[in-house]
Amino acid sequence: MADLDDLREGSNFGLGVTAGQQSFHVKGAENLPWGMKDRLSRIFNPKTGKAVMLAFDHGFIMGLTSGLERIDLNILPLIEYADCIMCTRGILLSSIPTTTNKPICLRSDAGASILTELNDNVLIDIEDAIRMNVSAMAVMLAIGDEAHEAKTVANLYKAVDKASRYNIPVMGVTAVGKQMARDARYFGLASRICAENGANIVKTYYCDGFEKVVAACPVPVVIAGGKKLPELEALDLCYKAIGDGAAGVDMGRNVFQSENPVAMIQAVHAVVHDGLTPQQGFEMFQDLSK
């Protein structure tokens, strides 16, 4: 039982001190088996340790989303610039050519729409994930929402149990429901719970104190982009997240809703992998947009 009258906030995050056992380029993966490491290396570039994941799973919960009306027209031209694609089974099978040859982070849970927002009770059959040769499975975790919390923990747990049998990494997606705080306390708690339950990657949002969220999470953290921002601000977000220790981005709307998505994903890639500043990335975006 938690001693609720004695919750002491962590304060010693060892900021600036590299995590131990880091001969493998993916945090916390040192002791994993070959198949896991191979899949993680398909997502996280072994040279930089970073990843640009292109997320276009929004339709499974939001229905029609601007920029995702036509996967063939909107998304296919972007895929060559992504390190990994994140989508649902339905979109993968119907709209992504088998020759794409990019690692797939499969959206593996369901059970809700934009009206209730949080998924908690459906998990894809592991055999189907294997048939699609996925490199990771993404499952939501909604801490702090009474109606969903225990069910999403169970869903994540089940996903890890099943996926680890076949050396498939799981990405825990920290949910932000309507009532949930968007701060380091919430994202830190949710990220750590994902990792403690066996997630090999955590996706969360950038926030003040993000470096503590990353430091206290024993596996790589990638950020979602969130709502569409002006391009320079979105590149700034990527830059700050990487500077604070993120292992990459899993970005959707700030890429596919950009004025020039093909230019934007290349600029994001350059900020994440090549250390371009936001301004340099923005100039790259502008040059590619001419």
Write out the catalytic residue numbers: 203
Among 251, 268, 271, 276, binds ligand 5RP (CB under 6 A): 251
Site membership for ligand 5RP, residue 253 (CB under 6 A): yes
How distant is the alpha carbon of residue 234 from its chain centre? 16
Amino acid at 210: F
Amino acid at 88: T
Q: Interacting stretch for ligand 5RP, rule CB under 6 A, among 7-15, 224-232, 234-242, 278-286?
A: 224-232
Site membership for ligand 5RP, residue 224 (CB under 6 A): yes
Among 67, 245, 252, 278, binds ligand 5RP (CB under 6 A): 252
Among 28, 172, 225, 281, binds ligand 5RP (CB under 6 A): 225
Q: Pick between residue 225 and residue 281 the one whose CB is nearest to ligand 5RP.
A: 225
Site membership for ligand 5RP, residue 250 (CB under 6 A): yes
Q: Is 82 exposed, middle or buried (0-12, 13-18, 19+ CB in 10 A)?
A: buried
Site membership for ligand 5RP, residue 226 (CB under 6 A): yes
Maximal C-alpha separation, the chain: 60
Site membership for ligand 5RP, residue 111 (CB under 6 A): no
- Supply the DSSP string of 85-106, one letter for each residue: EEEEHHHHHHHS-TT----EEE
Q: Interacting stretch for ligand 5RP, rule CB under 6 A, among 26-34, 72-80, 89-97, 250-258?
A: 250-258
Residues 135-154 touching ligand 5RP, rule: CB under 6 A, are 140
Write out the E strands in 142-233.
170-174, 201-204, 221-224
**At its nearest, how many Å lie between ligand 5RP and the CB of residue 203?**
6
Length of the chain: 290
Site membership for ligand 5RP, residue 57 (CB under 6 A): yes
Nearest Cα neighbor of 58 from 254, 201, 194, 229 is 254
Site membership for ligand 5RP, residue 55 (CB under 6 A): yes
Q: Interacting stretch for ligand 5RP, rule CB under 6 A, among 76-84, 206-214, 237-245, 251-259?
A: 251-259
The whole-angstrom separation of Cα 52 and Cα 24 is 19
**At its nearest, how many Å lie between ligand 5RP and the CB of residue 93?**
18
Q: Where are the alpha helices (DSSP H) in 32-148?
A: 34-43, 59-62, 71-74, 76-79, 89-95, 126-131
Residues 69-88 touching ligand 5RP, rule: CB under 6 A, are 86
Write out the E strands in 243-284.
248-251
Q: Are 249 and 222 in contact (CB under 8 A)?
A: yes
Chain residues in the site for ligand 5RP (CB under 6 A): 55, 57, 86, 140, 173, 224-226, 250-254
